């Protein structure tokens, strides 16, 4: 009895330890591939068009690079949330992600499990000691792949003794049965486990380990993998919580596509299993010298790949219909979202897409300031400014504050991820840009406050007003020219901006001198003059923050976002 308990305990801790190493290997490999391929991923996203076939290819390519369909779908939800991708494109990319994730099965099925430790040894030295960042990432990728195989070997070693344990075989006998009840039960189990561990790749690894050791039958393993195809959609659904309606639609389209595909294939499941067995050489139940079912892994990988490829090809003509279905299921809400529509801080998202989302929100912040200045100018010109106009100016200032706060929080989460040196610089630039834009909003609000407090004594309709609005419009034109770099690829360099800044400084000094003259000549009372002088200072501050914006945009131009 004691031996049995010790044996059971040994199986459990070896299995869990192997699973832990497998998970860690998947994470290291995924992170290092993402870091090394960040630039490529950005270019792939940027090249995306409304062509649905291209969208599928993009989804397949990105998922092959990052080795996780969950990462790709979270990325897509983020891009839809930022209005950088429409729903039809998103569905195409998600379909492609389903194909891309099947590459994991082929990596696992390669008979190099016994070389796992060799790969760990080959990868760890460049990972730790290479000076070049690219070589470091290559080393980490090899190290991660090595850990995946070491983990699989440990799981297989733990599972092998269970073949002789009659109590265990009796417990899972129903799942190994060759009837529809067993198929559906296995599919449900695969779905449940994948929802819990949130990784279809990990579930695939566990399933292949069980099949190669003979713990589960081939048909049971395939049903488990099909179930994991449904379970993996929970990641995208979790990612869209707090997102806009379109992001939720993309996540639900993923779930509907996978559920329909799996339910249809389950109708023909016995025929499909026989078909896979007939096209792949080698008997799935043939034991090798080590006592493993050598051909089981390639059979499972093939079943997984063919299903996802065929399902995508069959669904592709109906992408628009699927988009209409999820739009009908999730109609647009009239309730206004208090959070930023462009930001969706999901833990599985890529730094590359986080940066693109934050950049889009920064452009929105600049647009709010443009509207705010027009309103402030109108407010200052009015002899009887309305309370509603002032309330709207205050609202705009609150919007810029909120954008700045959420960009900081969002990019703070991004900075906790594995970033390349370029990505770290981009994140810092975007945080500073948002801060500078928010400060300009503060000074525009101050101008409105000066008017509110001094409306009876401050008259901007005469010569004083002409001087103020000429200078104010010149300052704002300077801001618009510098901020144009956010959208204009041919934006001028910093030296032009510095030259214009110097001219504005000389202009501001001449206005200050005239203020002193007015006090000496007693042509303006001291209180009005002081208020007017403070308003000129506020405009000078707008210019100073515009100079800082020009500097940050120049840095971003050196490291393009897309």
User: Above 60 in pLDDT, residue 342?
Assistant: no
Q: Rounded mean pLDDT of 25-33?
A: 79
**In the prediction, which pLDDT does 1 show?**
39
Q: Per CATH, which fold does 351-558 belong to? A: Methane Monooxygenase Hydroxylase; Chain G, domain 1 (1.20.58)
**In the prediction, which pLDDT does 336 show?**
40
The CB density around residue 227, as the number of other CB atoms within 10 Å, is 28
Burial grade of 482 (CB within 10 A; 0-12, 13-18, 19 or more): buried
The 10s digit of each residue's pLDDT in 455-499 is: 656 667 777 788 889 999 999 999 998 888 777 766 655 556 777
Lowest mean pLDDT segment, chosen from 224-233, 395-404, 550-559: 550-559
The 10s digit of each residue's pLDDT in 156-194 is: 778 777 766 666 666 666 777 778 888 899 999 989 888
Lowest mean pLDDT segment, chosen from 173-177, 339-343, 397-401, 533-537: 339-343
Token digits of residue 6? 């010790």
Q: Rounded mean pLDDT of 254-268?
A: 90
Give residues with Cβ within 8 angstroms of 347, minimum separation 6.
413
Token digits of residue 236? 């995208």
**In the prediction, which pLDDT does 492 show?**
58
The 10s digit of each residue's pLDDT in 494-527 is: 556 777 888 888 998 888 888 778 767 767 677 7
pTM above 0.75, yes or no: no
The CA-based dihedral angle spanning residues 214, 24, 351, 441, taken in that order and rounded to the nearest 10 degrees: 120
The 10s digit of each residue's pLDDT in 68-126 is: 676 777 777 777 766 677 788 888 888 888 888 888 788 777 765 677 888 899 999 98
Q: Rounded mean pLDDT of 213-238?
A: 85
* DSSP-based three-state secondary structure for 394: helix
User: Above 60 in pLDDT, residue 260?
Assistant: yes
The CA-based dihedral angle spanning residues 354, 249, 194, 30, taken in that order and rounded to the nearest 10 degrees: -20
User: Above 80 in pLDDT, residue 264?
Assistant: yes
**In the prediction, which pLDDT does 432 show?**
94
**In the prediction, which pLDDT does 138 show?**
86
Rounded CA-CA distance 109/7 in Å is 28
Higher pLDDT, 210 or 396: 396
**In the prediction, which pLDDT does 367 show?**
92
Give, in degrees to the nearest 5, the angle at Cα 198 between 195 and 200: 95
Q: Rounded mean pLDDT of 258-268?
A: 90
Name the packing angle between helices 200-212 and 2-36 (round to 10°): 140
User: Above 90 in pLDDT, residue 443?
Assistant: yes
The H or E element spanning position 38 is helix 38-46
The CB density around residue 477, as the number of other CB atoms within 10 Å, is 12
Nearest to 513 by CA among 533, 534, 491, 540: 533
User: Above 90 in pLDDT, residue 381?
Assistant: no
pLDDT band at 334 (very low <50, low <70, confident <90, very high): very low
Token digits of residue 145? 């792949």
Lowest mean pLDDT segment, chosen from 9-18, 314-323, 374-383, 515-524: 515-524
Enter the DSSP assignment of 362.
H
**In the prediction, which pLDDT does 231 show?**
87
**In the prediction, which pLDDT does 427 show?**
92
**In the prediction, which pLDDT does 545 show?**
93
Q: Rounded mean pLDDT of 416-432?
A: 85
Rounded CA-CA distance 184/374 in Å is 63
Rounded CA-CA distance 24/144 in Å is 7
Nearest to 518 by CA among 528, 504, 509: 528
- Where do the structural domains in the chain lie, given as residue ranges? 2-329, 351-558
**In the prediction, which pLDDT does 303 show?**
92
**In the prediction, which pLDDT does 339 show?**
44
Burial grade of 383 (CB within 10 A; 0-12, 13-18, 19 or more): exposed
**In the prediction, which pLDDT does 207 show?**
87
């Amino acid at each position: 009895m004691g031996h049995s308990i010790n044996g059971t305990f040994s199986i459990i801790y070896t299995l869990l330890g192997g699973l832990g190493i497998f998970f860690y290997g998947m994470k290291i490999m995924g992170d290092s591939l993402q870091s090394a391929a960040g630039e490529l991923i950005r270019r792939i996203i940027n090249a995306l068009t409304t062509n649905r076939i291209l969208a599928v290819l993009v989804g397949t390519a990105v998922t092959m690079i990052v080795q996780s369909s969950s990462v790709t779908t979270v990325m897509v939800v983020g891009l839809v949330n930022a209005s950088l991708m429409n729903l039809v494109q998103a569905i195409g990319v998600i379909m492609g992600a389903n194909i891309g994730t099947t590459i994991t099965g082929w990596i696992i099925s390669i008979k190099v499990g016994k070389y796992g430790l060799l790969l760990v040894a080959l990868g760890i030295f460049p990972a730790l000691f290479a000076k070049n960042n690219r070589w470091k990432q290559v080393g980490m990728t090899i190290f991660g792949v090595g850990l995946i195989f070491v983990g699989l070997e440990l799981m297989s070693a733990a599972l092998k003794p269970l073949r002789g344990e009659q109590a265990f075989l009796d417990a899972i006998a129903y799942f190994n049965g060759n009837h529809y009840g067993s198929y559906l039960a296995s599919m449900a189990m695969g779905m449940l486990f994948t929802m819990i561990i949130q990784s279809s790749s990990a579930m695939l690894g566990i399933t292949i380990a069980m099949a190669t050791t003979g713990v589960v039958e081939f048909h049971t393993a395939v049903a488990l993998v099909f179930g994991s195809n449904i379970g993996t959609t929970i990641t995208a659904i979790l990612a869209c919580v707090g997102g806009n309606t379109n992001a939720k639609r993309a996540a639900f389209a993923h779930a509907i596509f996978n559920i329909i595909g799996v339910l249809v294939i389950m109708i023909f499941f016995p025929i499909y299993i026989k078909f896979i067995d007939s096209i792949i050489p080698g008997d799935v139940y043939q034991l090798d010298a080590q006592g493993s079912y050598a051909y089981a892994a390639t059979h499972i990988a093939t079943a997984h790949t063919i299903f996802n490829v065929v399902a995508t090809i069959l669904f592709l003509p109906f992408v628009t219909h699927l988009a209409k279905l999820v739009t009908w299921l999730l109609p647009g809400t009239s309730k206004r979202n208090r959070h930023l529509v462009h930001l969706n801080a999901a833990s599985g998202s890529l730094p590359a897409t986080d940066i693109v989302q934050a950049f889009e929100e920064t452009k929105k912040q600049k647009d709010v300031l443009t509207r705010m200045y027009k309103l402030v100018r109108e407010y200052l010109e009015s002899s009887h400014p309305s309370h509603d106009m002032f309330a709207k100016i205050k609202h705009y200032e609150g919007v810029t504050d909120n954008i700045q706060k959420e960009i900081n929080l969002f990019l703070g989460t991004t900075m906790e991820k594995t970033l390349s040196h370029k990505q770290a610089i981009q994140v810092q630039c975007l945080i500073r840009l948002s801060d500078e834009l928010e400060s300009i909003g503060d000074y525009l609000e101050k101008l409105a406050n000066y008017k509110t407090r001094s409306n009876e004594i401050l008259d901007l309709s005469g010569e004083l007003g002409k001087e103020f609005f000429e200078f104010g419009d010149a300052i704002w034109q300077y801001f618009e020219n510098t901020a144009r770099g956010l959208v204009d690829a041919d934006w001028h360099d910093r030296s032009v901006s510095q030259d214009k800044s110097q001219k504005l400084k000389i202009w501001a000094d001449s206005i200050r001198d005239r203020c002193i003259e007015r006090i000496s000549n007693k042509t303006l009372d001291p209180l009005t003059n002081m208020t007017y002088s403070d308003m000129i200072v506020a405009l000078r501050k707008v210019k100073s923050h515009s100079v800082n914006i020009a500097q940050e945009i120049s840095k971003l131009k050196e490291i393009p976002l897309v």
